[in-house]
């Protein structure tokens, strides 16, 4: 995709300083992530080794097996060494049987040492390696299909949401949306899935305001979109959510089932779902490493900062979050083309110059991250139920998208905040996008904000506020001597939400790695480097 970079004449020294502060804020947290594991990381590892399925009460076998090992030998050594040791000792012929026996308490686990330990680790590396190879094959398949069917001819890619709760209803709707022009289909998850400490199993037909993310649902939807991609001669991408308590597992399943994009924000779960900060950062690093290897584009959730705070006052928090998300992503091995950094059109339309400020903010993001696709998200907070005004607002949102070369455009619905979109709402919304893109996308060529004018000044102001906030974050402290970023999250630096590292959901699933910690997935992911690519994309 070619895009013109709008000229903002930012001071390169300030931009460098912003990035170096983000790096400084992230470093101690990355260290925490590298020295801990979680129940979900260990479950994801077993999923890569091929363990799937659930008992008659729909409790997944990975949960049974990880819990059994945790109770007997602890998780600080990694789940795979005791598990593969049990297999080598002939406790069960395969992982599923072992998990079944473990669920009824009929296996005893131990931590093998010496040659037995080495043998268990070798067997584990072989088992987990098969899942990683599945991810590699999925990536190769995607590359092949993109080559065969082609990418969308124009940017931004059009992103549409489907969410009925029933995967078999979602499928025809997603196919219809693709035929109407969607390049990306996002299946919204059932509300509350982020707080489940297990991944549901099988095809699901009942969800609340969304459809459960399960391996089978992923497979069904990807297959349906492959059919429609062939029909349309354009590769239609599939998006889901790697967030919440099962982020690593969902990432692993997405990689194996060839999802193309995943929502994956570094702090969203902490701030907006009250998930424990350490749990989140550990899970997030693993999931991002998987996304990197799988060739998945991540979408970050900066829009959330603007729906809970004022979009003018809090504009710089979006920039800070983008910089942190970029840093954590790069550290985990993601490349620029995989960073769908988020931002949103949420300024109160009643205030003067709201459109100019939206334009300035969107240009700032474009300029700061010239090689990232950027995900541009539509107004939600100021959609009032006046659908006519909403349609106009969405038009202006599309115009900013057109003028600033966004990579991914989440299509705004005029019935936002009223009902789940009607079929006609989606059609009207796409007409809106098409009209604006057709009429105005060439403006990137003509429109350059004048030197030191309103837009340049506003962009510089937001950037400098972002640098100030990052400065405060890296110098933050708390009584427990936590990493500055954790201290900052604890004292409510981000919005008004105070999230101490000792609070939140899922802390009991966090373990400090022992010296002999072994996890073949993290070992392989840490050693992995992205394949050299020419001018891909």
Instruction: Give the catalytic positions in this structure.
Output: 268, 303, 375
Distance, CA of 201 to CA of 63 (rounded, Å):
12
* Sole window of 71-79, 118-126, 424-432, 528-536 interacting with other proteins (rule: CB under 8 A): 424-432
Q: Which is nearer to other proteins, 247 or 363 (CB)?
A: 247
Of 143, 133, 134, 218, the residue nearest 174 (C-alpha): 218
Q: Which residue has the tokens 């990381």?
A: 41
Which of residues 209 and 480 has its CB atom nearest to other proteins in the complex? 209
Among 45, 190, 215, 266, binds other proteins (CB under 8 A): 190
The burial class, CB within 10 Å (0-12 / 13-18 / 19+), for 184 is: buried
Nearer to other proteins, 309 or 473 (CB): 309
Element (H, E) at 451: none
Question: Cα separation of 402 and 391, whole Å?
Answer: 16
**What's the DSSP call for residue 307?**
H
- Helix/strand/coil for 519: coil
Residues 6+ apart with CB under 8 A from 390: 379, 383, 384, 412, 413, 414, 415, 416
Q: Which of 43, 121, 273, 330 binds other proteins (CB under 8 A)?
A: 273
Question: Pairing between strand 36-38 and 510-512?
Answer: antiparallel
Q: Min. distance of Cβ 427 from other proteins in angstroms?
A: 5
Is residue 342 at the binding interface for other proteins, with CB under 8 A as the rule? Answer: no
Nearer to other proteins, 250 or 323 (CB): 250
Dist CA 280 CA 510 (whole Å): 10
**Least distance to other proteins, CB of residue 208, Å:** 5
Selected from 127, 200, 207, 405, the binder of other proteins by CB under 8 A is: 207
C-alpha span between 329 and 289 (Å, rounded): 8
Cα dihedral sign, 464-466-469-471: negative
Distance of closest approach, residue 510 Cβ to other proteins, in angstroms: 20
Residue 217 lies near other proteins (rule: CB under 8 A): no
Site string for other proteins, 382-421 (x = CB under 8 A): ---x-------------------------------x----
Residue 166 binds to other proteins (criterion: CB under 8 A): no
Please select the residue that binds other proteins; options are 16, 133, 137, 179, rule is CB under 8 A. Answer: 179
Q: Does 209 bind other proteins (CB under 8 A)?
A: yes
Q: Which of 428, 435, 352 is nearest to 390 (CA)?
A: 428
Name the segment binding other proteins (CB under 8 A); options: 19-27, 203-211, 235-243, 257-265.
203-211
Rule CB under 8 A: is residue 423 a binding residue for other proteins? yes
Which of residues 191, 438, 475, 477 is near other proteins by CB under 8 A? 191
The span from the CA of 5 to the CA of 508, in Å, is 46
Closer to other proteins by CB, 76 or 274: give it: 274
User: x/- contact string, 67-106, with other proteins (CB under 8 A)?
Assistant: ----------------------------------------
Concatenate the DSSP letters of all residues of 112-147 into one string: --HHHHHHHHHHHHHHHHHHHHHHHHHHHHHHHHHH
Which residue ranges make up the site for other proteins (CB under 8 A)? 165, 176, 179-180, 190-192, 194-195, 207-209, 273-274, 307-309, 385, 417, 422-424, 427-428, 495-496
């Amino acid at each position: 995709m070619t895009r013109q970079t709008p000229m903002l004449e930012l001071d390169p020294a300030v931009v460098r300083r912003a990035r170096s502060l983000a790096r400084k804020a992230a470093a101690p947290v990355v260290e925490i992530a590298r020295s801990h594991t979680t129940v979900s990381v260990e479950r994801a590892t077993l999923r890569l080794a091929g363990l799937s399925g659930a008992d008659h009460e729909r409790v997944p076998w990975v949960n049974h097996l990880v819990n059994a090992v945790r109770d007997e030998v602890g998780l600080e050594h990694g789940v795979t060494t005791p598990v593969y040791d049990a297999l080598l000792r002939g406790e069960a012929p395969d992982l599923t049987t072992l998990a079944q026996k473990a669920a009824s308490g009929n296996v005893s686990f131990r931590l093998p040492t010496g040659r037995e330990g080495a043998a268990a680790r070798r067997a584990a590396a072989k088992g987990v390696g098969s899942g990683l190879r599945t991810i590699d094959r999925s990536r190769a398949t995607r590359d092949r299909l993109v080559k065969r069917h082609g990418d969308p001819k124009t940017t931004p890619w059009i992103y549409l949401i489907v969410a009925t709760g029933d995967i078999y209803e979602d499928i025809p709707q997603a196919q219809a949306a693709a035929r109407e022009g969607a390049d990306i289909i996002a299946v919204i998850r059932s509300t509350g899935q982020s707080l489940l400490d297990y991944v549901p199993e099988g095809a699901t037909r009942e969800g609340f305001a969304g459809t459960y993310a399960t391996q089978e649902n992923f497979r069904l939807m990807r297959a349906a979109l492959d059919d429609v991609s062939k029909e349309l001669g354009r590769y239609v991408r599939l998006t889901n959510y790697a967030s919440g308590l099962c982020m690593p597992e969902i990432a692993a399943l997405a990689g194996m089932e060839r999802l193309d994009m995943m929502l994956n924000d570094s702090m969203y779960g902490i701030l907006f779902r009250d998930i424990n900060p350490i749990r989140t950062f550990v899970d997030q690093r693993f999931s991002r490493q998987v996304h990197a290897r799988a060739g998945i584009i991540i979408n970050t959730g900066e829009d959330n900062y603007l729906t809970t705070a004022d979009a003018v006052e809090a504009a710089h928090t979006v920039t800070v979050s983008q910089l942190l998300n970029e840093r954590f992503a790069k550290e985990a091995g993601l490349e620029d083309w995989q960073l769908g950094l988020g931002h949103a059109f949420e300024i109160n339309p009643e205030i003067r110059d709201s459109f100019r400020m939206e334009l300035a903010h969107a240009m700032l993001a474009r300029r700061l991250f010239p090689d990232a696709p950027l995900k541009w998200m539509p107004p939600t907070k100021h959609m009032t139920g006046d659908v006519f005004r909403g349609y106009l607002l969405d038009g202006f949102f599309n115009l900013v998208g057109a003028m600033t070369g966004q990579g991914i455009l989440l299509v705004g619905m005029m019935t936002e905040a009223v009902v789940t979109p009607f079929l006609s709402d989606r059609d009207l919304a796409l007409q809106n996008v098409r009209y604006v893109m057709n009429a105005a996308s060439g403006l990137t060529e003509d429109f350059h904000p004048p030197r030191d004018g309103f837009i340049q000044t506003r962009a510089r102001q937001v950037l400098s506020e972002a640098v100030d906030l990052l400065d405060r974050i890296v110098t933050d402290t708390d009584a427990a001597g936590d990493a500055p970023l954790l201290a900052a999250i604890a004292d409510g630096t981000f919005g008004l939400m105070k999230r101490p590292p000792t609070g939140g959901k899922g802390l009991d699933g966090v373990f400090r790695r022992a010296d002999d910690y072994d996890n073949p997935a993290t070992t392989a992911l840490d050693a992995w480097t992205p394949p050299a690519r020419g001018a891909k994309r």
